[in-house]
């Protein structure tokens, strides 16, 4: 007699849904060109792995970058020690036997974070909705275009999504029963989140406070082993380094004004000279602060800014998320008012907390900054699915199918997905990593070859090795200099770069506004406009 315990049917369906998600992500690798942030991430991860250093870009922690670098390293890629991390990333890929395969291996390093997030959504959903009910949030999560997009590129956003979700779920378990095993799990989750991206330092305290307020057992005695576990894991990721910071905190703060200018200078000097564990972590946090303080070119609804808008992320989530998922999440919130279980409120409250924490941030670069919200939104939508299924099964099926069809129709362009609200001109709402991150550059070469273009002018966002794109001869499209012949320009360059140059030159018109007099003869992918100027 076979006493082995076989997985339940819901568990097998969960595994199938997760594997379908993996297959969909992997199927984008060939069609999506090297995106903007992949280049420096590959450089930083390889420097850490190959040279034992981490000074290219301390503004992000090393874990996800290390995961990105492992595949190319095993394939033969090595650090090239160039001073510029952008050029270094391309040189690292070129050092492997095949450039394209090395990039694919770098992207594969992010898939474990996607699978971890799927698993936590399943486990948390099972606690809230039972085994069969838990399939609803998994279905929703694996049909979210922003999730599929950023799980398919060698960047950090999927890692922090999985890290924050794991830490929050582990915290709920630790509050329920403070065993050593659960304390270890919580410590691992905290370390994973903090080592994935520094925005976890803002998100976790607020979310943990929200869980504590909702949880009925928050005042019981606790096992605090998670504190040394998280500390040692984070310190270990920085190779147990010990010493003072290298950032010039006092001079930076004095020049920036604001709250930091009110802190006495001797305190900053002490911070600069005091030896601490993992000083690179403090350097990184200060570099992020400087980035926020300095601002970043942003675009929303036809407007431009260096410091963004409080409503950027609500708009981004509203147009970058399938409408059916938003409707299901709304039903989930409605259903909560008919339930007495406080634990059902947690995903919705945590999603709202993450959104509120992000409202003031001036780095309005893309919906990817909201990726930790998406698994919680999926859980809330899952509650809506179960509530609707019990009352109007046909309507639940229609909304789930609408979600699936809407997402599948975008394949492989999950990065540039917009729902029906955006209409046929999403570039009027958002650009940058929400629409144009360099992902269509491989298609540009193929399109120009099809049109037999011998020479063209280009202003496209791309940080990869353009010699590998099969492009005909070209030169750069210079600001405010009209040309004739073929022109390729991408949406981020039209808006963000065009506006930044106009500010630098104190001009009212954007750098490429002269192109508005002409109609494009074609569009390459979702992000590149092709003109022929007679």
pLDDT tens per residue, range 299-328 = 999 999 998 899 999 999 999 999 999 999
Question: Does some domain include residue 275?
Answer: no
Residue 88 and residue 155 share a domain? no
Q: Is pLDDT of 423 > 50?
A: yes
| 218/313 same-domain check | yes
Q: Is residue 250 part of a domain?
A: no
DSSP 180-220: HHHHHHHHHHHHHHHTT-TTHHHHHHHHHHHHHHH-TTTTS
pLDDT surpassing 90 at residue 138: yes
Same domain, 194 and 320: yes
Per-residue pLDDT band at 1 (split at 50, 70, 90): very low
Burial class (CB in 10 A: 0-12, 13-18, 19+), 301: exposed
What mean pLDDT, rounded, does the chain reach?
Answer: 92
Per the structure, the count of domains in the chain is 3
Helix axes 226-237, 180-194, angle to 10 degrees: 30
The more confidently predicted of residues 444 and 362 is 444
**Cα separations in angstroms, 486 against 20, 437, 440, 466:** 41, 22, 17, 18
- Is residue 262's pLDDT more than 70? no
Residues 357 and 498 in one domain: no
Name the 3-class secondary structure at 173.
helix
Residues 177 and 317 in one domain: yes
pLDDT value at residue 236: 94
pLDDT score at 258:
64
If asked whether residues 97 and 134 sit together in one domain, one would say no
133-147, 335-349, 356-370: the lowest-pLDDT one: 335-349
Predicted confidence (pLDDT) at residue 89 exceeds the cutoff of 90 = yes
Dist CA 275 CA 295 (whole Å): 30
Q: Which residues pair with 456 in a beta bridge?
A: 474, 486
Mean pLDDT computed over 409-438: 94
With pLDDT > 70 as the criterion, what percentage of the chain qualifies? 96
pLDDT at position 11: 94
Main-chain dihedrals φ then ψ at residue 499, nearest 5 degrees: -75, -40
| Structural domain includes residue 82 | yes
Is the pLDDT at 331 greater than 70? The verdict is yes
Does residue 73 share a domain with residue 52? yes
Token couple for 57: 């870009």
Q: Are 507 and 480 in contact (CB under 8 A)?
A: yes
Q: Looking at the predicted structure, is the pLDDT value of residue 129 above 60?
A: yes
Task: Please check whether residues 323 and 389 belong to one and the same domain.
Answer: yes
pLDDT-derived band at 525, boundaries 50, 70, 90: very high
Question: Do 466 and 452 reside in the same domain of the chain?
Answer: yes
What DSSP assignment string belongs to 454-494? -EEEEE----S-GGGTT--EEEE--TT----EEEEEEHHII
pLDDT at 405: 95
Domain boundary among 413, 442, 463: 413
Which residues form the domain of 88?
Answer: 37-109
Q: For residue 28, what pLDDT band results from cuts at 50, 70 and 90?
A: very high
Distances in Å between the Cα of 360 and the Cα atoms of 160, 184, 407 are 19, 33, 30
- Look at residue 18 and tell me if it is in a domain: no
* Contact call for residues 510 and 400 (beta carbons, < 8 A): no
- Reading across the β-sheet that carries 485-490, which strands appear in turn? 473-476, 455-459, 485-490, 528-533, 522-524
pLDDT at 449: 94
Instruction: Judge whether 279 and 247 are in contact, CB under 8 Å.
Output: no
**Domain end among 380, 413, 446:** 413
Q: Are residues 326 and 224 part of one domain? A: yes
CA distances from 96 to 71, 77, 89, 177 (A): 11, 4, 12, 49
Give CA–CA dist 239/76, Å, rounded: 24
Q: Is residue 120 scored above 80 in pLDDT?
A: yes
Same domain, 335 and 404: yes
Whether 300 is covered by a domain: the verdict is: no
Comparing C-alpha atoms, which of 444, 436, 494, 448 is closest to residue 466?
Answer: 444
- The answer to whether position 346 is within a domain reads yes
The answer to whether position 264 is within a domain reads no
Q: In angstroms, rounded to a whole number, what is the distance separating the alpha carbons of residues 146 and 152?
A: 10
Based on the fold, state whether residues 224 and 341 are members of the same structural domain.
yes
User: Do the domain assignments include residue 8?
Assistant: no
Residue ending a domain, choose from 385, 413, 441: 413
Residue pair 517/460 in contact by the 8 Å Cβ criterion: no
The whole-number average pLDDT for the span 251-276 is: 73
Is-contact 324 400, C-beta < 8 A?
yes
């Amino acid at each position: 007699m076979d006493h082995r315990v076989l997985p339940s049917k819901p568990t097998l369906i969960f595994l199938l849904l997760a594997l379908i998600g993996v297959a969909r992500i992997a199927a984008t690798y060939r069609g999506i060109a090297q995106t903007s942030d992949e280049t420096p991430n590959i450089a930083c991860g390889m420097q850490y792995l190959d040279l034992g250093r981490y000074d290219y870009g301390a503004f992000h922690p090393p874990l996800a970058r290390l995961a990105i670098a492992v595949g190319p390293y095993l394939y033969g890629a090595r650090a090239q020690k160039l001073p510029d991390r952008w050029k270094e990333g391309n040189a690292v890929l070129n050092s492997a036997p095949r450039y394209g395969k090395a990039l694919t291996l770098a992207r594969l390093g992010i898939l474990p974070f996607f699978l971890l997030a799927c698993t936590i959504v399943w486990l948390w959903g099972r606690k809230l909705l039972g085994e069969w009910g838990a399939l609803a949030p998994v279905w929703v999560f694996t049909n979210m275009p922003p999730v599929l997009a950023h799980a398919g590129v060698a960047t950090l956003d999927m890692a922090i999504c999985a890290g924050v979700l794991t830490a929050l779920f582990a915290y709920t378990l630790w509050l329920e029963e403070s065993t050593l095993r659960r304390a270890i799990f919580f410590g691992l989750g905290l370390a994973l989140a903090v080592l994935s991206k520094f925005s976890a330092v803002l998100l976790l305290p607020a979310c943990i406070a929200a869980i504590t307020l909702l949880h009925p057992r928050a005042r019981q005695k606790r096992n605090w082993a998670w504190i040394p576990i998280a500390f040692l894991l984070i310190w270990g990721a920085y190779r147990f380094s010990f010493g003072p910071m290298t950032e010039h905190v006092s001079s930076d703060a004095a020049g920036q004004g604001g709250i930091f200018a009110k802190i006495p200078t001797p305190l900053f000097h002490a911070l600069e000279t005091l030896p601490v564990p993992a000083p690179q972590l403090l350097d990184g946090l200060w570099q992020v602060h400087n980035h926020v303080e300095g601002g970043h070119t942003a675009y929303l609804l036809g407007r431009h800014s260096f410091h963004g808008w409080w409503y950027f992320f609500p708009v981004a989530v509203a147009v970058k998320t399938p409408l059916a998922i938003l409707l299901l999440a709304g039903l989930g919130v409605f259903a909560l008012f008919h339930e007495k279980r406080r634990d059902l409120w947690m995903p919705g409250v945590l999603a709202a907390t993450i959104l509120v924490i992000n409202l003031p941030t001036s780095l309005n670069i893309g919906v990817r900054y909201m990726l930790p919200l998406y698994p919680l939104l999926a859980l809330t939508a899952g509650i809506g699915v179960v509530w609707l299924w019990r009352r109007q099964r046909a309507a639940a099926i229609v909304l789930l199918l609408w979600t699936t069809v809407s997402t599948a129709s975008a394949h492989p362009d999950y990065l540039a997905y917009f729902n029906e609200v955006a209409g046929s001109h999403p570039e009027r709402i958002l650009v940058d990593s929400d629409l144009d991150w360099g992902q269509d550059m491989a298609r540009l070469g193929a399109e120009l070859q099809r049109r037999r273009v011998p020479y063209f002018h280009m202003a496209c966002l791309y940080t990869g090795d353009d010699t590998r794109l099969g492009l005909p001869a070209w030169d750069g499209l210079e600001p405010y200099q009209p040309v004739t012949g073929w022109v390729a320009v991408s949406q981020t360059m039209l808006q963000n770069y065009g506006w930044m140059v106009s500010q630098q030159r104190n001009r009212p018109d954007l750098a490429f506004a002269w192109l508005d007099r002409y109609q494009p003869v074609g569009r390459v992918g979702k992000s590149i406009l092709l003109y022929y100027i007679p």
